[in-house]
A and B are shown apart, each in its own frame.
Chain A
C-alpha cells in the first residue's frame, strides 16, 4: 500500500518537476544570456493557458487549441521582446524589475479585461480523461501520463537543441560569456529573439498541460514564477542542466512534502498539530532548500559563469 503511494507521488512529483523545467528553461536562458530579470515570464505561462483554453473552446478540440495557443504565445513573446524587453537589456536589474513588473500588471489586467475574472475551464481531451491501470491495483490518470510524456519529450528535444545544434552552441556560448560570443560573431540580438520566442512557447506548453489540472485564472503565473526562479537559482543561473535537476528536485520535494508530511506529523504530534503545521512546513521546505543551497554554494549547484 505504501509502495503504491510512493509510486503515485513520485509520478506526480516528476510531472510537476518537468512542467517547472519548461518554465525554468526559458527563464534561465534569458537570465544567463542577457543578464535580464524577467518577472513577466510567468505571465507568458498565464497567457499561454488562456489562449489554449480559448482556442480549445472555439475549436472544440484540445489538440487544435494547444497548437494554436502555443503558436500564439510564441508570437506574443517575440512581439514583447522586440517592442519592449529589448530596450531593457542594457539597463540595471532595478529597471528590469520595474519594467517587467509593469508588464506583469498589464498582462494580468489585460487577461481579466478580455476573459473576465472567473477562472476558465480547460478540459483534457475526452480520450485521456480516465485512469490507466499501470500495475495491478494501481491506476494513474491518463492525462497526467501525457503531461509526463510531453515533459520528457520537450526536455529531450531541448537537450538535443542545446547540446547538438549550432543554435544551441551559440546559446551556450552566449550564456557562459556574452562578450566573447559577440566577439566571435554570434548575432546575440537575433539569437535572443529566437530564445525568447522558444521560451514563450515552452511556457505555453506548460500552461496547456497544467491548465486542466490546476485552474486557468488571473495570477496563475505568479506562484509558479517564484518557483521557477527558485529552480534556476538552485540549479545555477544560465545552466539548462542545473534548471533540469533543480526543477525535478523542487517538483519531487514539494509534491512529496505535501503528500507525506501530514500523515507523518499526525503520527508524531497528533492531528491538531498536523493540520496546523503540515501545510506551512510543506510550502516552506523548498525555500529552506534554496536558502541552504545558497548558503553552501552561493552560485547554485551548477554554476555556468566561471
Chain B
C-alpha cells in the first residue's frame, strides 16, 4: 500500500482501484440478490455508515494527531436531531439532514474550542467528558425518550419517487453520500489545509514558529470531522429507525477508535477498512458462539501484539 503515497503528506486516490471499488459497491445489491444473500445488504449499509464515521474520526486522529475519545457524541447528535425533528413533525430530509449536520458541527465547535486547549492524555479525557455529558443529558430528557430512546415514525422524506424504506434505495443513497464525503476528505487532505493539519501532527512547535495559527486549523478540522460524523448519524438513524443514548455511550467512541486503529491510523482507507473488518468479524463470530465478544477481544489483542503496524499500513505517530 506504500505506493499510495507520492509524498508523505499526500494521499492520492489512485483512479483505477478506486473506480473498481466503487463499481463493485454499486453492483453489490444485484450481486447479493443473484447469490440469494439479500440479508447482507443491511450489513453492507452499516459498514458504509460506520466507515464514514470512522473516516471522520481518522481526519482528526490519523491526520491531525488528536486522539478524540468522544466522537460518538457527534454521530449521536446527528441522529438525535433527525429523530427529534421527526417527532415535531418535520420529516423532510432537506430540512432535517442539514439541520443535523449543523447541530453536530456546532457541538464540535463548542467542544473543540475548549478541548483543544489541552494536549495528549488530557485531550483524550476532556473529549470523553463532553461526550459523557451529552450522554447523560439525553438519558434524562424524558420528552425525547430518555433512556429508552426515540423511534422514527418513518424514514426521512427525500422525494416522492425515493423510498428510503426500500433497502436497496437506502443502500445506494448511503453509498452516494459516503463516496462524496470520502472524496471530500481525500481532496481536503491533499489541499493546503490537509498538509497543514499533518504538519501540525508532525511538529506543532515548528508550525507555530513559521506562523500557522495552530488552534484555528485544529478547530476547523475538529468541526469538519464533527459535521461528517453528524452525516453518519443521519444515515444510521434512518437505517435503524431508532436512536437511544447508548449510541452516545463511551463504548461507541471506543469502537470507532478501534475501527480506525484496526484499519489504519492516518491511512486514507483506514476508517472504511476498519469498519468493514470490525463489523464482518462481529457478524462472523456471533454466528459461531454466544460468547463472541471474548473471541473478538482475543483477535483484537492478537492484532495489537502480533501486528504492531496494524492490518493496513498502520503508521506510528511520533
Contacts and interface: CB of A to CB of B under 8 A. Distances in A.
Interface size band for B:
35 or more
Interface string A201-240: 0000000000000000000001000100110010001000
Given A87-B305, A276-B142, A280-B141, A94 B129 contact: no
Interface string B277-318: 000000000000001011011101101110010000000111
B276 interface: no
Given A95-B261, A98-B258, A283 B140 contact: yes
A71 interface: no
A105 to B, nearest CB: 4
Contacts of A93: 67, 120-121, 124
A279 interface: yes
A229 B297 contact: no
A298 B117 contact: yes
B216 interface: no
Given A101-B300, A106-B297, A237-B121, A287 B130 contact: yes
A304 to B, nearest CB: 13
A106 B317 contact: no
A109 B140 CA distance: 29
A291 interface: yes
Contact of A109 (B132, B254, B297): B297
Contacts of A98: 257-258, 261-262, 300, 303-304
Contacts of B119: 298
Given A95-B308, A98-B300, A105-B300, A276 B125 contact: no
A233 B305 contact: no
Nearest to A39: B254
A229 B254 CA distance: 15
Nearest to A37: B121
A108 interface: yes
A280 B136 contact: yes
Interface in A232-258: 233, 237
Contacts of A92: 316-318
A97 B254 CA distance: 8
Contacts of B305: 84, 87, 99
B103 to A, nearest CB: 18
A103 B301 contact: yes
Which among A99, A105, A288 has the highest number of chain B CB atoms within 10 Å?
A: A105
Given A37-B121, A288-B133, A88 B142 contact: no
Given A99-B305, A226-B128, A295-B117, A94 B140 contact: no
Which among B121, B251, B291 has the highest number of chain A CB atoms within 10 Å?
A: B121
Interface string A126-152: 000000000000000000000000000
Contact of B265 (A94, A103, A104, A222): A94
Contacts of B301: 84, 99, 102-103, 106
A290 interface: yes
A97 B133 contact: no
Contacts of B318: 92
Which among B67, B126, B298 has the highest number of chain A CB atoms within 10 Å?
A: B126
B308 A109 contact: no
B133 A287 contact: yes
A291 B126 contact: yes
Nearest to A31: B121
B140 A279 contact: yes
A91 interface: yes
Contacts of B317: 92, 94
Interface in A39-86: 39, 84
A129 B125 CA distance: 38
Given A101-B300, A283-B140, A110 B258 contact: no
A148 B139 CA distance: 31
B137 interface: yes
B4 interface: no
B117 A109 contact: no
Contacts of A287: 129-130, 132-133, 136
B122 interface: yes
Nearest to B254: A101
A194 B128 CA distance: 30
Contact of A97 (B118, B257, B303): B257
A7 interface: no
B31 interface: no
B114 interface: yes
A284 interface: yes
B302 to A, nearest CB: 9
Contacts of B297: 102-106, 109
A290 B126 contact: yes
B118 to A, nearest CB: 5
Interface in A282-306: 283-284, 287-288, 290-291, 294-295, 298-300
Which among B142, B257, B305, B316 has the highest number of chain A CB atoms within 10 Å?
A: B305
Contacts of B269: none
Contact of A283 (B130, B136, B293, B304): B136
B138 to A, nearest CB: 9
6 contacts: A31-B121, A88-B304, A97-B67, A98-B304, A102-B296, A287-B136
Given A97-B254, A99-B300, A291-B114, 11 more contacts: A88-B304, A94-B261, A102-B301, A102-B304, A105-B294, A105-B297, A106-B298, A109-B291, A276-B142, A291-B126, A299-B122
Interface of A: 31, 37, 39, 84, 87-88, 91-95, 97-99, 101-106, 108-110, 112-113, 222, 226, 229-230, 233, 237, 276-277, 279-280, 283-284, 287-288, 290-291, 294-295, 298-300
3 shortest A-B CB distances, which residue pairs?
Answer: A280-B140, A106-B297, A105-B297
